[in-house]
Structure 1
Amino acid sequence: MGEIWQVFEHAVTITVFVFVAMMVVDYFNVLSEGRLSSLIRGGVWRQYFISSFLGATPGCFGAFLNVSFYVHGLLSFGAMIGGMVATSGDESFVMLALFPKKALLLFGTLFVLGIVFAWISDKIAALLKIKSCQECNLQIVHTSPLDQSLSEQVLVQNFLRISWKRTVLLLGGIIFLIGLTTGIIGPPTWNWEKITLTVLTTIGIAIVGSVSRHHLQEHIWAHIVKRHLWRVFLWSFFAILIVGIGLKYWDLEAFVKAHMVWVMLIAVVIAIIPESGPHLIFVMMFAQGLIPFSVLLASSIVQDGHGMLPLLSYTVRDSVLIKAFNFIFGLAVGLILYVLGV
């Protein structure tokens, strides 16, 4: 029972970190969205840089922006591939929680590879006469009036007519913050992880309390809570549990090391799934030292969390082509680095 509680506590801590980080990223993405649309217009190298940068930012929001730019004809086929190469989905938040330094190294590597593979993909697309976004319809990029969130009128209305959703989120955040600071949950000592969680949780409470009702409903509740939060918790819980059971009752480490190429192949195949979650098992395995960086990188190149889902609704053809390119790139890079001992 104690082991299950530890797994549960670890999963809750990761989930809260992911939730708050997603809120912060979403907050600034909405604020900067209009500027990005005008900034991205230009040459292909600007497209490669911006799409890869957006992809490398934690979460799926950068990927969603890339899809929006792509269907508006602002990104080339290669730039879209580069953005998806750089995208790690919601797992990026988990990686930041588990191994921040290596996670930043991974994001930086994906960013550079995104630019390189964007250029290569456009060259290949030109040779194969692949035309991008043939089935896409222009979509309106949704924005939210965040500039009004901190006005005195909005703040007063938020608490005079407080909704049950805001109440639940505020109480949940406050309870977690109390548990965190008193040592009931999270790291027992005041290390960087505890300090970071405390600061982020405080920021999260401030965001929940200050944003407009629209932003709370559409961005935080309807999107982050209902679509992401429970998935992050369940995948984190079972990934930690499975890896823990494998280490304790089955010689998982010996099996993985004896079949590393197969593990890499399985990782990139699973990464094809346009869903945040399955990739977490390999994140946890890397955190436990069971797989090398090359396997994690290969999986990260191919997988893009929910980032591909909006594009699937516009064009299945382009989505399949992008996944095919990323699969080849991911497997090639992973195998080369593995042979080199990375």
Structure 2
Amino acid sequence: KHTVMVTFFVFVMMLLVDFFNVATKGRISDIMKGGRWRQYTLASFLGATPGCLGAFMNVTLYVHGMISFGAIVGGMIATSGDESFVMLAQFPGTALLLFGILFVCGIIFAWLSDHAIKVLRIATCESCLESECEEYLAHKDEDEKIREIFKFNNLSKNIRSLSFTRFLLFLLIGSFLLLVILGIIGSTKWDWKRMTFVGLALFSLYIIGLASEHYLHAHIWEHIIKRHLFRVFLWTFGALFFVHWGLAFWNLDVFIKQHMMWVLLIGALIGVIPESGPHLIFVMMFAEGLIPFSVLFTTSFVQDGHGMLPMLSYSIKDSVLIKLFNLAFGLAIGGGLFYLGL
């Protein structure tokens, strides 16, 4: 039940982020044209937005020579990948605080990174206007307009010619809504959590009802559900399973408390993996009170979901440099917080 609730929350948040991404298409690059501090701030802001879309955008801007090496380092520091949605579902207050701290760290360490490569005389790759990042970003030729995608007139047309994909999404989200209303999953009382999930389910049904067929397939089904959601579901279930049975049979809490410094180091090293999922184990351990904020901060600082995957296809050297900078900075700040008892 817990896994279903978290996965649904992630789905709706991804819908909102994708909606915003489509609505602001083409404007981000114009805003980026400015001084270094503007680049640092906006790259970190894009990174701090939940999910990996901001990280993908930063890679595209870097590949096209629109932001500096330091700016993309800062953007990746601020990025928490798909795990950010899970953190918002599990501990929203702490998650927002963490995102804010990572945003500020992204700006500061972006500046430090640009100075470091200058002092150390590290050569980074030149921009490549021919390079394409993850296919999800390559919507330059789309002539979709946000008003066309979500016309209210689309509703009657979509219902009359109901596609199997739309029917399946209606069925799944409608079933979830019914289970929440009946109190079978989620809160059994009509508190703010239950009302929030009902509202999110209704919002999802509204978007699916209005969305054009292309948007439904390309954005919601092919990208959000097939490329992200199933993986989030499996990793969330696996992390919850690991923490639950670890506490029940393996004295996981005792082991972690006795080896906390090693847990912090392992968390940082796992953060190097360019993938959303492994970090969820640390998210769930923090939610259960097994690890302190400093460990969660370190893993969040170093990891960037699969935001680095497009970068690997462009330049392995730059990808390794970005990860090394993030790992060094993350261990330094995270270790300091741990030493302070946070």
Please state how far the C-alpha of 1:38 moved relative to its aligned partner: 0.8
Match of residue 287 from structure 1: 287
Pairing 1:1-342 to 2, within 5 Å after superposition: 9-134=1-126, 136=128, 137-139=130-132, 141-142=138-139, 144-342=144-342
Query: What percent of counterpart residues are identical?
Result: 55
Alignment gaps of 5+ in structure 1 = 1-8
Please state how far the C-alpha of 1:131 moved relative to its aligned partner: 3.8
- CA–CA distance in 1 between the matches of 2:121 and 2:164? 54
* Count of matched residue positions in the alignment of Structure 1 and Structure 2: 334
Is the CA contact (8 Å cut-off) linking 2:239 and 2:280 kept in structure 1? yes
- CA–CA distance in 1 between the matches of 2:49 and 2:190? 27
Is the CA contact (8 Å cut-off) linking 1:76 and 1:132 kept in structure 2? no
Please state how far the C-alpha of 1:150 moved relative to its aligned partner: 2.7
- CA–CA distance in 1 between the matches of 2:291 and 2:189? 28
- CA–CA distance in 1 between the matches of 2:307 and 2:197? 26
SS at match of 1:96: helix
Is the CA contact (8 Å cut-off) linking 1:48 and 1:79 kept in structure 2? yes
SS at match of 1:187: coil
Please state how far the C-alpha of 1:127 moved relative to its aligned partner: 1.6
- CA–CA distance in 1 between the matches of 2:131 and 2:241? 43
Q: Which range is displaced more, 255-264 or 125-134?
A: 125-134
Is the CA contact (8 Å cut-off) linking 2:149 and 2:212 kept in structure 1? yes
Q: Spell out, residue by residue over 1:47-73, the C-alpha distance to the aligned partner (whole angstroms, 9 max, x if none).
A: 111110111111111111111111111
- CA–CA distance in 2 between the matches of 1:34 and 1:103? 29
SS at match of 1:151: coil
Please state how far the C-alpha of 1:148 moved relative to its aligned partner: 0.6
Is the CA contact (8 Å cut-off) linking 2:256 and 2:263 kept in structure 1? yes
Distance 1:151 1:135, change over 3 A: closer
Q: Spell out, residue by residue over 1:164-183, the C-alpha distance to the aligned partner (whole angstroms, 9 max, x if none).
A: 11111111111101111110
- CA–CA distance in 1 between the matches of 2:68 and 2:8? 36
- CA–CA distance in 2 between the matches of 1:93 and 1:58? 6
Alignment gaps of 5+ in structure 2 = none
Aligned amino acid, residue 13 of structure 1: M
Distance 1:130 1:196, change over 3 A: farther
- CA–CA distance in 2 between the matches of 1:297 and 1:338? 10
- CA–CA distance in 2 between the matches of 1:115 and 1:135? 22
Q: Which range is displaced more, 182-191 or 96-105?
A: 182-191
- CA–CA distance in 1 between the matches of 2:304 and 2:83? 9
- CA–CA distance in 1 between the matches of 2:312 and 2:177? 39
Q: Spell out, residue by residue over 1:289-340, the C-alpha distance to the aligned partner (whole angstroms, 9 max, x if none).
A: 0000000000001111111111111111111111111111111111000001
Aligned amino acid, residue 27 of structure 2: R
Compute the TM-score of the two structures, normalised by the length of structure 1.
Answer: 0.94
Compute the TM-score of the two structures, normalised by the length of structure 2.
Answer: 0.94
Is the CA contact (8 Å cut-off) linking 2:79 and 2:304 kept in structure 1? yes
- CA–CA distance in 2 between the matches of 1:190 and 1:62? 35
SS at match of 1:130: coil
- CA–CA distance in 2 between the matches of 1:33 and 1:108? 24
- CA–CA distance in 1 between the matches of 2:313 and 2:322? 14
Please state how far the C-alpha of 1:36 moved relative to its aligned partner: 1.2
- CA–CA distance in 1 between the matches of 2:315 and 2:323? 13
Q: Which range is displaced more, 211-220 or 132-141?
A: 132-141
Is the CA contact (8 Å cut-off) linking 1:52 and 1:79 kept in structure 2? yes
- CA–CA distance in 2 between the matches of 1:12 and 1:152? 30
- CA–CA distance in 2 between the matches of 1:257 and 1:157? 58
- CA–CA distance in 2 between the matches of 1:162 and 1:131? 54
Is the CA contact (8 Å cut-off) linking 2:235 and 2:280 kept in structure 1? yes
Is the CA contact (8 Å cut-off) linking 2:65 and 2:127 kept in structure 1? no
Q: Which range is displaced more, 132-141 or 314-323?
A: 132-141
Please state how far the C-alpha of 1:190 moved relative to its aligned partner: 2.4
Distance 1:133 1:209, change over 3 A: farther
